[in-house]
Structure 1
Amino acid sequence: MTKRIRKAVFPVAGLGTRFLPATKAVPKEMLTVVDRPVVQHVVDEAREAGIEHFVFVTGRGKAVIEDHFDMAYELEDTLRRRNKTKEYDALMADLPPAGATSFTRQQAPLGLGHAVWCAREIIGDEPFAVLLPDMITLPAAGKTARCLAQAVEAYEKHGGNIIAVEEVKPEETHQYGVVATGEDYGSSFEITGMVEKPPQGAAPSNYIISGRYILEPKIFELLEKGEKGAGGEIQLTDAMIHLAKERPFHGVRFDGRTYDTGSKLGFLAANIAFGLARGDIAEGLKAEIRKLLG
């Protein structure tokens, strides 16, 4: 019987250099897509998938993220006194329950694998999710489940370890981590291998790792070794490659689209896509886009 996925890790220690000067004083995770910070969109996705405990791996200058997921007494009191009921209720709905968030520091930028390893004491001996905070997801038209919920469904079917993947053009695979495919189960498939940024034309498939994982706690033993990979950093993909030699991995084809808000183009596209998904502003946004396009 598989253990239920209760905890998720959010690596939020990155500097956000691609968005300077905007990120000089504001963490990149707090930049807004429409009217919600990027990190709030990712936490929303985790909550929808049944996550109960949210583990943030932070760094210097990230205290505002902790404040965002805490009470804001003066603001809440002002909203109540001014009868701003809708705004007050929305704040309360986003507030995690007491004790449901944990924050731990990654003192040095040693890579994604190291960031995940920093959460080991809080995760303990149970499977857990990892959500990259730069990547925010929208389900396909007519669907309601975002990426992590689809990954949890695959985990409940297969157990072991799950990686969410998306298809890209073959000529783009050298930019990403890529999986090799085995037996196919429809929305999911067996992963028989992984490679980080393969040379152009050498990728085992055109399915790329898209920023959502469910991992067994055995991964911490491999990350503990501190072996450095691409960029001189401790890479999560390298640890997964070793883990896959003894434990099963499956891929889940995310039925939707992922937006990389860590890039300027991806950030702008996310704002448009999430705006168009909002019933209260979609028509006005369409009209503005038509004006811009002449």
Structure 2
Amino acid sequence: MPGIKEIRTKIKSVQNTRKITKAMEMVAASKMRKAQERMRAGRPYATKVREVAAHLMQAHPDYRHPYTVEPGSLRAVGIVVVSTDKGLCGGLNTNIMRLVLARMREFEHKGVKVQVTALGSKSAGLLSRVNANLVSQEVQLGDAPNLERLIGAVKVQIDAFVDGKVDAVYLATNRFVNTMKQDPSFIRLLPLPSVLADPFQTEVVASEDEQNVVKSTFGWDYLYEPDARTVIDELLMRYVEGLVYQAVAENMASEQSARMVAMKAASDNAKKVIGDLQLVYNKTRQAAITKEISEIVGGAAAV
């Protein structure tokens, strides 16, 4: 049985750890509210761009944007992986990376080449360790997504798709459901489907070919200035940028929520460990006192 001094030292150590986890829980709770507000604030813009883009794509069928051209077969694909820069957020990064690695194995099993882009230190580190074909990365994203930094890394994949080097580009991120639940999602970024839907507010379907597709009809007639090609090109680029931005915003909201829950669980576990150690400490102290009294009584009887 450990001595009283060792138990007291261990109790003090766990108490110090609990102070840290409690402070991290409070910080994550504060950042979580801001991240959720930022995520929800970006949805109206993304929704409107998506609606207008879907209308234009159906209203002007004689022009096919390169982003909407379906490949004949998959020979190479690109994957953009969104993760966190820091840990201590439960299984958030583990779940998304497990999904990405499983999809990479599926593609490689079919003879499809895979190149990846990492947004976040955790995905960049793991993809480097597994010797993946990492063509671009952006780390230290901060607490708020910066589109100028994000689009630089993602543009490598977009340019590869336009040049025909890859036949499809996928986006892997955590979809924020609520504070207690974050779902890893694997959605197709390019080519865009004929009808666009919000992958972060609708259920993600099992088939990759059916993702982002909803049944709807539009009867819009637009006047273009300067011309249809210029407007559609610019609008679809804004849509892709909005989807990437929203994916990172969703992941950041998921990160803070997962970290708050993980730190609360750690604080609760530390409290339980302290209680157990206090019980052991009291028993050990009581046993030591009883032993001393027995020795005193035995010595007095001997005299």
> Under a length normalisation based on structure 1, what TM-score does the superposition of the two structures give?
0.33
Instruction: Find the structure with the greater CA-based Rg.
Output: 2
- Which of the pair is proportionally richer in strand? 1
- Which of the pair is proportionally richer in helix? 2
